[in-house]
Amino acid sequence: MSAGPVVAFRNLTKSFGGVTAVEDLTFEVRPGRVTGLLGRNGAGKTTTLRMLLGLAAPTSGSATVFGSPYAQLPRAAHRVGVCMDGLGSVPGATGRRELDIWSATLGLPARRTDEVLGLVGLSEAADRPVKGYSTGMRQRLGLATALLPDPELLILDEPANGLDPDGIRQLRETLRALAAEGRTVLVSSHLLAEVEQTVDDVVVVQRTLRYAGTLADLTGNGAHRLEDRFFALAGEAPGTDAASGATGPRPEANPEAKPGSKPEGSLTHA
């Protein structure tokens, strides 16, 4: 596996008409680590991941995987596992059938389907049609699909949404196990308490980059809650009491960290 950054964003900007969804993002994802991409609704997380995967064209700047744009990366579908809404499924198929089709497309051994079904806790539901799956079961199937090629890099957009407590614990254990094997995970999430238990590195975006660095640096080795640090960096949501100051100034975990301040850390230095 490469020693450089697995993923690199350089001055990445995306505008949709008059709306700038992502502005001048520069950060890297280091190998063998779980990196959490955090930001509130509409912060630009999915747009960033879509540009990384070549599903949306940047307005300016670049996003690379293993040093190449995803579309030019040899064996990209084997090296990068992706779980993201809207990547398509097979109408009327069971979970097992869907995985078998992906597996055959990738030239994987037939046993791989059962392996990933077991990893995500979906073995018992494998022979039911996907259209009857709950939200959490669909998430599990999406994760299973991403895991199929035993990828070096996993890119997961909100994988914990809809998961029950067992599913969330299983997800956390799977991601930690992958990192322990030297694989790299980039995962977007809103679930800050869960993120705090899972990730090594944190990226906070709110259209612009607010932080990129280690979780330990951000929380002072656990002295501060991630949630407090998140609000200090991302700012309070417009229209809330805290944003308007109606309830007085909110306590901040680190008074130096103001919304809009420069990123405090960089994944490029240890």
- Using the minimum distance from each CB to ligand ATP, give the nearer residue, 55 or 101: 55
Note the helical H segments in 107-252.
111-119, 135-147, 165-180, 192-198, 215-219, 226-234, 241-244
> What is residue 30's DSSP assignment?
-
What's the closest the beta carbon of residue 257 comes to ligand ATP, in angstroms?
20
Tell me which stretch binds ligand ATP (CB under 6 A): 37-45, 99-107, 125-133, 193-201. 37-45
Query: Which secondary-structure segment (H or E) carries 10?
Result: strand 7-16
Q: Is 41 in the site for ligand ATP (CB under 6 A)?
A: yes
Q: Is 156 in the site for ligand ATP (CB under 6 A)?
A: no
DSSP labels for 54-104? TSS--SEEEEEETTB-GGG-TTHHHHEEEE-TTS---TT-BHHHHHHHHHH
Tell me which stretch binds ligand ATP (CB under 6 A): 13-21, 103-111, 213-221, 262-270. 13-21
Residue of 7, 8, 21, 146 that binds ligand ATP (CB under 6 A) = 21
Q: Is 120 in the site for ligand ATP (CB under 6 A)?
A: no
Position 44, amino acid: G
Residue of 1, 2, 11, 16 that binds ligand ATP (CB under 6 A) = 16
Q: Is 39 in the site for ligand ATP (CB under 6 A)?
A: yes
Tell me which stretch binds ligand ATP (CB under 6 A): 26-34, 36-44, 87-95, 177-185. 36-44
Q: With contact defined as beta carbons under 8 Å apart, do 62 and 50 qualify? A: no
Residue of 7, 43, 178, 179 that binds ligand ATP (CB under 6 A) = 43
Instruction: Measure the CA–CA gap between 250 and 227, rounded to whole angstroms.
Output: 13
Tell me which stretch binds ligand ATP (CB under 6 A): 35-43, 112-120, 168-176, 196-204. 35-43
Total binding residues for ligand ATP by CB under 6 A? 11
Q: Is 210 in the site for ligand ATP (CB under 6 A)?
A: no
What's the closest the beta carbon of residue 71 comes to ligand ATP, in angstroms?
19
Q: Which residues pair with 81 in a beta bridge?
A: 154
Strand duo 201-206 + 34-38: pairing: parallel
Instruction: Measure the CA–CA gap between 52 and 32, rounded to whole angstroms.
Output: 19
Tell me which stretch binds ligand ATP (CB under 6 A): 14-22, 64-72, 116-124, 168-176. 14-22
Position 260, amino acid: G
Q: Is 149 in the site for ligand ATP (CB under 6 A)?
A: no
Q: With contact defined as beta carbons under 8 Å apart, do 215 and 199 qualify? A: yes
Give every CB contact of residue 225 below 8 A, 6+ residues apart in sequence: 196, 219, 253
Residues that bind ligand ATP (CB under 6 A): 16, 19, 21, 39, 41-47
